[in-house]
Amino acid sequence: MRVILFGKGRMGREILEVASQQQDIEIVSVYDSKNIEGAKQNGLPPADVCIDFTTPKAVIENINIAWKHRLPIVVGTTGWYEHLPEIKQRSNSGEGTILVGSNFAPGVNLFFKIASLIGKFINHFDFEVSITEKHHIHKKDAPSGTAITLTEKIISNTNKYNGWTLNQHEQGKLPIKAIREGDEKGTHIVNIYNELEEMEIIHSAKDRKVFAIGALHAARWIVNKSGFFTVEDFYNEILS
């Protein structure tokens, strides 16, 4: 599998390292803000798929470049989801293929399924829910895309909450607390509680390689597919 990588940050470096250990994966080119103009002017080298871990401001441009060259793209960047309906419409109209995910770690995607069950559960029992997420001090978006996805899984399966709030409490909203500290690689906590019971479900990433491994698996899966996909589609097929 020949991969074009957008992004030379923390996740880009992890993907390069993981790919270097796989005999059937070749990173044919890496682009960031310093050399992306060359890609726009001279085109991309032959490849099977693109992977994007850049910044919210760069994502749409990178998607457009990949699609111009008829390449599918896996996007792990978060913080740009206000553009997601437009990208989904364009993809489903045949303009290009994309797989979007807020978190590619296998354990987190199991967590998403648990979150859906939590939403159904609190329709029948009197529990409150809160979410806490912790990341390194350099993470630009808050709350994290993973925390938002967890929240949306709960909200879409319950009539208890009609939205979420960040670092505050509001009636009818599921509260998310975002913490930025040190080199924290990513911890998400869902707390379910009432006066009689309390339960915490925690996922902690011990190494960023887990995200790179998941993204490369998703990239392999999307080759030769057409349309709009999420990382959940990839894991659903694995579990089916």
DSSP 103-137: ---HHHHHHHHHHHHHHHHTTTS--EEEEEEEE-T
- CA terminus-to-terminus distance, the chain: 25
pLDDT digits (tens, 9 = 90+) for 66-83: 999 999 999 999 889 999
What pairs with residue 100 in β-bridges? 75, 230
Helical segments of the chain, H only: 10-20, 36-42, 56-68, 84-92, 106-121, 145-155, 209-222, 231-239
**The domain 2-104+209-239: what is its CATH number?**
3.40.50.720
Instruction: Tell me the CATH number of domain 106-204, given options 3.90.1150.10, 3.30.360.10, 3.40.50.10190, 3.30.750.80.
Output: 3.30.360.10
CA distance 160 to 139: 30
Output phi, psi for 4, to 5 deg: -105, 125
At residue 62, what are phi and psi to the nearest 5 degrees?
Answer: -70, -40
pLDDT tens-digit series, residues 92-119 = 999 999 999 988 999 999 999 999 999 9
Whether the per-residue pLDDT at 54 is higher than 80: the answer is yes
Task: Determine phi and psi for 88, rounding to 5 degrees.
Answer: -60, -40
pTM of the model: 0.81
Counting every residue written for the chain, the total comes to 240
Both tokens of residue 140? 């630009």
Q: How far apart are CA 97 and CA 214, in angstroms?
A: 18
> Domain spans of the chain?
2-104+209-239, 106-204
Average pLDDT taken over every residue of the chain: 95
pLDDT tens figures, 121-160: 999 999 999 999 999 998 888 999 899 999 999 999 999 9
Judge contact between 18 and 64, C-beta under 8 A.
no
Place of tokens 């709009």: 228
**Does the structure show a pLDDT above 80 at 192?**
yes
Structure tokens at 55: 């910044």
Q: Which residues are catalytic?
A: 135, 139
